[in-house]
Amino acid sequence: MEFLKKYWKKSLIALAAILVIMLFFQFISWCSSARYARFILYNAADRKDSSLCDKYWDYEKVIDNQLRSSLGEVEDGLGGLAYAMAANMRPMLIAQLEAGVKESYEEGSSIKDNIFVNFWNSYTNQASNSATKLKKINKNKENFFICDFDDSGCRMFTWEKVNKKWKITNFEAGIPIKKVFD
């Protein structure tokens, strides 16, 4: 007991220092995760700020993935023609996707969450008024599903770490809820 009375201040300072160091490393870990990128995009949607879209959307990869999945099904003699048309249309498709994404952020949703709700939703991989599911593919790639409660289907965002930053590299809409949660 004498030891505790003598060194209680130093023990308390050491415990506080350990706690601060642990919180610091947890914060650094969170800032380099896809959850942090989702937090930034949630806040951008609430503020109707489309300027952050370029930082967290990889439009070229989204279009390339969409074209690859669409043209992968073409097996007849017109496959070469389809690939040539897709290559010519690629810049226009990228510009249209970029304009559409930015417009959706500027229009915004009717649900306004404060920064603390956005933080908690991103930290726990949730979304307001939606069911979510996270499927990790590997340490640098994950699929994040958002399913609205009105049974309109789910949206899948593929997040990938590109040049040490998390970006959306694929997007799919209209996925049946049963397919996501089975």
Q: What is the pLDDT of residue 110?
A: 55
Give the confidence band of 122 by pLDDT, cuts at 50, 70, 90: confident
Written as one letter, the residue type at 98 is E
User: What stretches of the chain show up as alpha helix (H) in DSSP?
Assistant: 2-31, 34-47, 53-56, 59-71, 79-107, 115-123, 177-181
Could you tell me if 135 and 157 are in contact, meaning their C-beta atoms sit under 8 angstroms apart? Answer: no
**CB count, 10 Å around CB of 112?**
11
User: In the β-sheet with 141-148, what is the strand arrangement from edge to edge?
Assistant: 130-138, 141-148, 154-162, 165-175
User: CA 111, CA 61: separation in Å to the nearest integer?
Assistant: 29
Written as one letter, the residue type at 179 is K
Written as one letter, the residue type at 148 is D
Angle between helices 34-47 and 2-31 (to 10 degrees): 70
In this predicted structure, the answer to whether residue 55 has a pLDDT above a threshold of 60 is: yes
Q: What is the pLDDT of residue 76?
A: 61
User: CA 161, CA 170: separation in Å to the nearest integer?
Assistant: 12
Q: Hey, what are 134's tokens?
A: 């996270």
User: CA 138, CA 140: separation in Å to the nearest integer?
Assistant: 5
pLDDT in tens, 128-169: 677 888 888 899 999 999 887 777 788 899 999 988 899 999
Could you tell me if 155 and 170 are in contact, meaning their C-beta atoms sit under 8 angstroms apart? Answer: no
DSSP class of 180: H
Written as one letter, the residue type at 62 is V
pTM of the model: 0.77
